[in-house]
Every structure is written in structure tokens, then in C-alpha cells.
């Protein structure tokens, strides 16, 4: 069904996200089948290929409940501990209204305007300009911003970034992405298990096999080598598709979050200005790729851009101009802290500081206490003025 308008696009994105998550669960089963196929190749090297495939499929059917339960258990563990892990990696810590009144008030006003429960507000000590939302339910939702973002963005731009992250929470993107990262972690775990089983057992097993065993395998039409190649191909395909699915969940949601931020703030130029300042300055040192996928921007350049989880800043700005009527100032340079420190000194003598004009007051010579006041009334063109 075609999507028209912001909210129908959000609903369509949710349906696609659910379908992609189901695809991730399917990839878990593909990994289980690949592991069973490797086991059959190592245990029954003299079997023909079709028998190995049939036996591996039978083991997959038996393992389905256990694989599903294992993936569900992984998700349950992440449900309770993922935020602790994220805070440990990023060093984020919660702040109150007294500690950060500027941020707290901006976020609170946005939540009040939409009748949303206020997520936890956290600060991450970093010179990078970025922010991200995390959590799986209302009690866990939090928004983390870096100190660099707070330092270099004005109030309107910070409000736009907070609205962007609130939109991720409203649209369910945060929950979807956390689950996708967890399931992708399951796939990565199974991939590592298969490769360990293969390289620590399979290749050594093939190398140490006797000549009699090798001739027996060839004589009985053994398909162990082909089975292992198939298993490797399945592992690589599942791993690659899991990455593609994570990208699909990330790229589209960023456009919708930008649009949601404009809807909340009614200020497309603030969102564009924030993106231009964040552009190229959002890389968080020492954090995992899973955390970067949740950020406002996940910068990638060159060949790595093929595996980017976010659209480019130029494309996002173009969308805001085309659909929200914003204005692009182009790439923005941040002020140099060293220059600002130099400006703290005295003004140059050649250009003394000017006093701001005083509105609604006529220009008149200053009156100094203790000195004679201004002269009395002067005669007009038709003689002296009458005194009252």
C-alpha cells in the first residue's frame, strides 16, 4: 500500500521493520543449518552430499525450538542489561534539571507539547557532536548528548536534535534497532561458532586424515568438502544479509526522524543548521558500531560509505529543503576555542567598543552632576519666548 503523508510513512516503515526483524530470525535458522551441515561433514565424511543435506535439515527441525529459545533468551538479557552496557561503553551519566537546566527545559517542553513521558537525559563527555536515544520501553528510554554538541549548538539547534531523538522513540525506531542489533549479535555468535568448529576441527581433521580414509571418502562419493563450502557460503550470506537488514532499518528512519523533528519544532532551519554543524564531527571514539547506528549521524567516507547506516547529510538536508522549506547555509565551520580565548582580552585601541544605541531616547548631551545645566530657552524667530 502506498504511503501518503508523514504518519502513513511511519506506519509503512513499522511494517517493513517488523518484516525485516522476522528476516533476521530466519537468518538465525540459516546459521543453525550451516552449523549442522559442518557437523555432518566432520562426523560423516564418507556420506554423499544429498545424505548430509538431508541429515542437517533433520537436525535443524529438531533444533528449531532450542534456537528460538536461545535467541529469545538473548533478547531478554539485552532487555535488562543493554542500557547498562551502553552507558559503560559511552560513559554517559544521567543529569537533573539543576545540573543541566538548559537541556532539561528544552527536552521537557518538547515532551509536554506532545504529551509524552519524559525520557532520561544523559550527558557523554566527548568533543564529538552527536546524540542518540536508547531503550526498549518507557521506563528505559533515554537520550544521551555529547558535551561537544551542547557547546557548539545554539538552543534552537539543540531542540531540533532532541526532537529528532524523541521522534525515534515515538516511532518505535529505538526498540526496533536494539532488537535488530541483538539478533544480529546472535548471528555473529553462530558465525564465530561455525568458523571455530571449522578451522579448529575441520581443516586439521582434513590434514591429518590417512590416505586410506581419503581414498575411502573418494570411493564412496563423500561430499564433506562440498558440504563445508555450502556451509561457509550460508554463513557468509547470513552475516551479510544481517548487516543489510540493519542498514535498511537505519537509513529510512533517519529521514522520518528529521521530518518528525521539524513537525515538533516548526523550525526546519534549526534542524538543517544542526546537521551542518554535526557533519563530519560525530565520530565517537571507543564506542561500538551498534552505538554509532543509534546516533544522529554515523559518519562514513569513501568505500566505507557503502556500509553506512545513515543517509548522507547532503541528502538529509536536501529532503528538508524539498519537503519542509528549509534553507541550506552550506557546510558550517565551528569557532576555534583558541581564537575565542584570544578575543577575551582588551579591545584594540584603534576600534574602541561602541555602546549599543538606546531606543526611544532622544540624543542629548550628557548632564554631569555638579556642573551647570543646559542653557535656558533661546529667543525664537519672532522675538523672545514668553515665560510662564
- What confidence tens digit (pLDDT) does each residue in 48-83 have? 888 888 998 898 899 888 888 887 887 788 778 888
For 362-371, how does the pLDDT look when each residue is reduced to its tens digit (9 = 90+)? 555 555 555 5
Active-site residues, by number, are 165
Joined together, the cell numbers standing for residue 226 give 562440498
In this structure, the strands spanning 131-134 and 142-146 are antiparallel
DSSP 97: T
Listing DSSP states for 214-275 in one string gives HHHHHHTT--HHHHHHHHHHHHHHHHHHHHHHHHHHHHHHHHHHHHHHHHHHS-HHHHHHHH
Taking residues 148-153, report their average pLDDT: 94
- Cα(334)–Cα(279) distance, rounded to whole angstroms? 11
Taking residues 142-161, report their average pLDDT: 95
Q: Which residues contact 229 (CB under 8 A, 6 or more apart)?
A: none
For 14-37, how does the pLDDT look when each residue is reduced to its tens digit (9 = 90+)? 676 677 677 777 888 888 888 888
For 75-105, how does the pLDDT look when each residue is reduced to its tens digit (9 = 90+)? 788 778 888 888 888 999 999 999 999 999 9
For 290-343, how does the pLDDT look when each residue is reduced to its tens digit (9 = 90+)? 788 889 988 765 444 445 678 889 999 999 999 888 899 988 888 665 554 444
Residue 13: pLDDT band with limits 50, 70, 90: low
pLDDT at 216 over 50: no
Q: Which residues contact 108 (CB under 8 A, 6 or more apart)?
A: 97, 118
**pTM of the model as a whole:** 0.71
Amino acid at each position: 500500500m502506498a504511503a501518503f503523508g508523514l504518519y502513513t510513512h511511519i506506519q509503512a516503515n513499522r511494517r517493513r521493520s517488523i518484516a525485516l526483524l522476522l528476516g533476521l530470525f530466519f537468518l538465525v535458522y540459516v546459521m543453525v543449518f550451516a552449523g549442522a551441515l559442518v557437523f555432518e561433514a566432520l562426523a560423516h565424511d564418507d556420506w554423499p552430499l544429498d545424505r548430509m543435506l538431508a541429515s542437517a535439515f533433520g537436525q535443524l527441525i529438531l533444533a528449531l525450538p532450542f534456537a528460538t529459545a536461545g535467541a529469545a533468551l538473548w533478547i531478554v538479557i539485552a532487555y535488562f542489561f543493554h542500557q547498562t552496557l551502553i552507558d559503560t561503553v559511552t560513559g554517559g551519566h544521567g543529569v537533573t534539571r539543576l545540573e543541566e537546566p538548559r537541556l532539561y527545559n528544552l527536552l521537557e517542553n518538547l515532551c509536554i507539547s506532545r504529551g509524552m513521558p519524559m525520557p532520561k537525559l544523559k550527558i557523554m563527555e566527548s568533543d564529538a557532536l552527536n546524540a542518540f536515544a536508547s531503550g526498549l520501553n518507557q521506563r528505559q528510554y533515554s537520550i544521551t548528548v555529547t558535551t561537544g554538541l551542547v557547546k557548539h549548538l545554539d538552543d534552537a539547534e539543540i531542540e531540533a536534535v532532541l526532537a529528532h531523538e524523541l521522534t525515534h522513540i515515538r516511532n518505535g525506531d529505538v526498540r526496533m534497532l536494539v532488537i535488530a542489533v541483538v539478533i544480529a549479535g546472535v548471528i555473529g555468535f553462530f558465525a564465530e561458532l561455525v568458523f571455530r568448529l571449522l578451522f579448529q576441527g575441520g581443516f586439521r581433521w582434513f590434514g591429518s586424515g590417512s590416505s586410506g580414509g581419503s581414498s575411502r571418502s573418494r570411493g564412496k562419493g563423500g561430499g564433506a568438502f562440498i558440504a563445508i563450502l555450502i556451509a561457509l557460503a550460508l554463513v557468509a550470506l547470513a552475516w551479510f544479509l544481517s548487516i543489510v537488514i540493519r542498514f535498511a532499518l537505519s537509513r529510512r528512519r533517519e529521514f522520518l526522524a528529521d521530518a518528525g523533528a521539524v513537525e515538533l519544532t516548526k523550525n526546519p532551519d534549526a534542524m538543517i543548521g544542526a546537521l551542518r554543524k554535526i557533519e563530519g564531527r560525530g565520530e565517537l571514539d571507543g564506542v561500538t558500531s551498534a552505538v554509532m547506528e543509534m546516533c544522529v549521524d554515523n559518519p562514513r567516507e569513501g568505500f566505507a560509505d557503502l556500509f553506512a547506516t545513515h543517509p548522507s547529510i547532503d541528502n538529509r538536508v536536501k529532503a528538508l529543503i524539498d519537503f519542509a522549506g528549509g534553507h541550506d547555509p552550506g557546510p558550517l565551520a565551528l569557532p576555534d576555542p583558541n581564537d575565542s580565548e584570544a578575543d577575551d582580552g582588551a579591545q584594540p585601541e584603534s576600534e574602541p567598543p561602541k555602546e549599543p544605541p538606546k531606543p526611544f531616547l532622544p540624543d542629548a548631551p550628557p548632564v554631569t552632576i555638579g556642573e551647570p545645566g543646559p542653557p535656558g530657552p533661546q529667543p525664537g524667530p519672532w522675538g523672545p519666548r514668553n515665560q510662564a
